[in-house]
Amino acid sequence: MASRTLLRPTAFVDSPFGHDGKVARLAGGLTWFSQVEMIGWDGGRRVSSELVPVERVFEWIADQPEDERIAWERLTSVRPPLQLGERTIRLDQPQVMGILNVTPDSFSDGGRFGGAEDAIAAGVDMAAAGAAILDVGGESTRPGAAMVWEGDEIARAVPVIARLAAGGNAVSADTRKAEVMQAAIEAGAAMINDVSALTFDPRSVEVLAGSSVPVILMHHQGDPATMQDDPRYADVLVEVFLWLEQRIALAEANGIARERILVDPGFGFGKTVAHNLALMNGLALLHGLGCPIVLGASRKRTIGALDREAPADQRLAGSLAFALKAAEQGAQILRVHDVPETVQALRIWRGLRDEALTPRQPQ
């Protein structure tokens, strides 16, 4: 593998005021950074790591070939809004995606809804509480989950998608199957969330290339039935970055424009607790892909592992901690179970950012 340098923003600052030439804006959002970890990668391994002030990075970039300059532009450029049906979702600030699992066996909320009407009502409540997007899924992809037949998945999810979309909500379909994607899009789904990153069903690329909806490409290692057996990485952060980079390139080569692609590091999908924490600590590296970042750490097993094996329904505080850590690093969409609580946490975070970004006249 050819040698290259990857750039991870760090040393975040509250405000750019008074720091001209010393800070850069992260992905056009509400976060600025003053240092970059320059990661040297060669032969499939990390060969160097150096913390460099942003002003030195500006100088370095000026002397680099076009591909390195493009990488810097992707890291700092504004992410345009998502147009999801009637809704325009701004990505210059973190947004909440509400999880709506219409399944009997999802790890946290499987079997919560007695039928489509209950699920629809829950979706309406999530939207009223501030969820910008509703992510509807009819198949559990938790560790150890068995595959669901397309017909059953469509029967579970599509009626809910259709009703919520007809009500003016921005609806995403959480599926890895082309037939379900097509049915969901026809029912009004304005985005596809594929935990396999278009690797599970060969027809999924064709379905999405023939549509105009955005797609979330999520990193994973292995399939749901076996992915937690013994996941291994030499360098999980860089390997996830490079894997997603390859999936983006494949999607583009098959007619899916980069502007329609979002990325998800796949927290908990073929990863140990240590892997998940390393990904969270280094999340800002993924902005170098030039795509909005989706983060789904809500109620995940890692929280229980760090807090005396707390069960899934007692992981709210840990979920909020991960959500705020992701917001701090510029993640644009937070996929969560607990919508009202996450929306409130982000409103406080936004209030802090607004105060820091309000110029003050000397008294």
Residue 214 CB partners (closer than 8 Å, separation 6+): 82, 84, 190, 191, 192, 260, 261, 262
Residue whose pair of structure tokens reads 């097993």 in the numeric block: 301
Query: Which one of the listed residues 163, 300, 315, 353 is annotated catalytic?
Result: 300
Residue 22: active-site member: no
C-alpha closest to that of 18 among 363, 362, 316: 362
Distance of CA 295 to the CA centre of its chain: 4
The b-or-e profile of 68-77 (16+ CB within 10 A means b, else e) is: eeebbebbbe
Contact of 121 with 158, CB cutoff 8 Å: no
Residue 206 burial (C-beta neighbours within 10 Å; 0-12, 13-18, 19+): middle
Residue 300: active-site member: yes
Query: Which one of the listed residues 8, 25, 301, 335 is annotated catalytic?
Result: 335
Q: Kindly list the catalytic residues.
A: 300, 335
